[in-house]
Every structure is written in C-alpha cells, then in structure tokens.
Amino acid sequence: MRDIQFRCSSLGHLMTEPRTRAEGDLSMGARSYIRQLVKEELFSVEFEVSSKETDKGIAVENAAIALLNKVRGLNLSKNTERRRNEWITGECDLFDAPRRRGHDIKAPWSLKTFPAWTVDAIDPLYDWQMRGYMMLWDADEWEVNYTLVDTPEDLRRNEPLEQHVVDHIPPEHRVTTWLIERDLMKEAQIREKVEAARWYYGQLIREFDASHRLDDVIDVQVREVGPTNKLAAAPAAKPRHAPVLLPNIF
C-alpha cells in the first residue's frame, strides 16, 4: 500500500481550516478538492485546463527569469529537479543554494493584474506552496517574484497594447517581491494535514469501489423495476465477465 504525496502547489487547498468541529481535521473545501484529485486518478484524467494566463507564464518564463536576474543582480537558472519527502513533492522555479533562498516566478497577465505593492501580492495558496518548497530544499527563505514582461502577440489578441507591451517601463518597476520566512511549526501543520488527507483519500477510494461494483448495479436495477416486471421475476443473471475491481493504489 503506497502513501500519496501531495504536490506543493496543492497544499493551500488542504490547509484551509475547518469552520466547525463537525468538519474534523479537513475543511469542506479541502475535502471537495481531494475528491477531485481522487476522481482524476480513478478516471485517468486531469481537470486543470489551460488558460491565457498559464499559457503566458509558460511562454515568457525565460524572459521573466532574465528580468529578475537583471533587477536583483543574480545569475540563477531554471531548476529542473523534482524533490520529494515522505509527505510532499515539488519542482521549484529557482534556488540560490549559497543563500539558502528559493525564488518562485509569477508572470502576471497584464499591467492591470500586476501587483505593484507587496500587499497585493500576498496569497495564502502561494504561501503554503512556498513552505512546501522550503521543506524540500531545506531553505531559510522563499520569494514570490511577480515579473511583468511583454505578453506574446498571439496571446493578447485584441486587448489594449499599453497593458501588455511593457518593456519601456524601467525594469525595477516591473518586479514585486514577497518574502516568506521558514516556520517549522507550519511545516508540522503541513505534515498533519497531509496525513488527514491521505486517510480521506483512501476512504474515498474504498467508498467508490464499494458503491460501483457491477453486481451491486444489477441488484439496484432489479429492485427499482419492481416485482411485477419480468426482470424482477427471474433471478439476476451473472455478468459474463468478472467485475472489474479498481486497483489498490496505496
């Protein structure tokens, strides 16, 4: 039986606090998120779809890193290593090993969505994501860097040019940084939430398997038809093939 490792990017969805005692260790929002994850695994699909914002982030990643390096006097390259521990897994954007500091790159869609002040850059989802990276890379600090660069022409379409062509703006005005310091108590909370999420994940698998067996479906059909129907009068036919059981994923 294997243990599920949650991605750092998913931690913010797990860490929301329950509003009532009845919710237990996981909030209703966290439980809903986990059900989506389980459904993705059961049906071998991914529900995250592409958007213009994510497409831009992928397209301009190198330009965004170059802008950060220029403004901050750094010489960092894109990280390609995925790390994991007992609870989580993640692949960060940049890591400055001598300074024990990581960097996450965000490329806002436009000048309108660019957070010009740090107060506008703070996001609880990103906070927990960076704390996951600090666990994996044993870092003291992690930065979330919002870097404003030109939007590729094929993505911006008919939107105002002045919101997407921004290279004329001084480079230092196009980088907003939010610094997060390591907190071991919050990392302990991450471990506790992941353990609770694993238990719920396994429970969902078992519930799905128990409620979607082929023989159970046939039995339900018989009872719903009623005793006057020919199907109900005859004994339930056995399926030609043995029911397909979901593999034990743990």
pLDDT of 250? 36
In a domain? residue 225 = no
What is the DSSP annotation of 106-150? Answer: E--SSTTTS--SGGGT--HHHHHHHHHHHHHHT-SEEEEEEE--P
Q: How many structural domains does the chain have?
A: 1
For residue 178, give the nearest of 147, 202, 149, 200 by alpha carbon.
147
Phi, psi (deg, nearest 5) at residue 231:
-65, -40
Position 205 in a domain: no
- In this structure, is residue 203 part of a structural domain? no
Model confidence, pTM? 0.83
Amino acid identity for residue 157 in this structure: R
Length of the chain as a residue count: 250
H/E element holding 52?
helix 52-59
Which pLDDT does position 40 carry in this prediction? 95
Residues facing residue 104 across a β-bridge = 144
* Domain annotation covers residue 249: no
Residue 250 lies in a domain: no
Nearest to residue 176, comparing CAs of 73, 106, 128, 97? Answer: 106
CATH code of 76's domain: 3.90.320.10
pLDDT, position 245: 36
Query: What pLDDT is stored for residue 23 in this prediction?
Result: 87
Structure confidence at residue 217 (pLDDT)? 53
Look up residue 204 and give its two tokens.
């969902």
Q: What is the pLDDT of residues 116-135, one digit of tens each?
A: 999 999 999 999 999 999 99
Whose tokens are 């980088």? That residue is: 175
Give the span between the Cα atoms of 119 and 215, in whole angstroms.
57
Give the type of residue at 73. Answer: G
User: In whole angstroms, what is the distance from residue 184 CA to residue 11 CA?
Assistant: 15
- Look at residue 39 and tell me if it is in a domain: yes
202 in any annotated domain: no
Which tens digit of pLDDT belongs to each residue from 104-114?
999 999 999 99
pLDDT per residue of the chain (250 residues) written in tens, 0 to 9: 467 999 999 999 999 999 898 888 999 999 999 999 999 999 999 987 789 999 999 999 999 999 999 999 999 999 999 999 999 999 999 999 999 999 999 999 999 999 999 999 999 999 999 999 999 999 999 999 999 999 999 999 899 999 999 999 999 999 999 999 999 999 999 999 999 999 999 999 999 999 988 765 555 555 444 444 433 344 444 444 433 333 343 3
What residues make up the domain containing 173?
6-194
pLDDT at position 191, please? 97
Euclidean distance between CA atoms 99 and 138, whole angstroms: 11
**Residue 73 domain-assigned?**
yes
Q: Within the chain, what is the greatest distance between any pair of CA atoms?
A: 82
C-alpha to C-alpha distance for 83 and 92, rounded to whole angstroms: 9
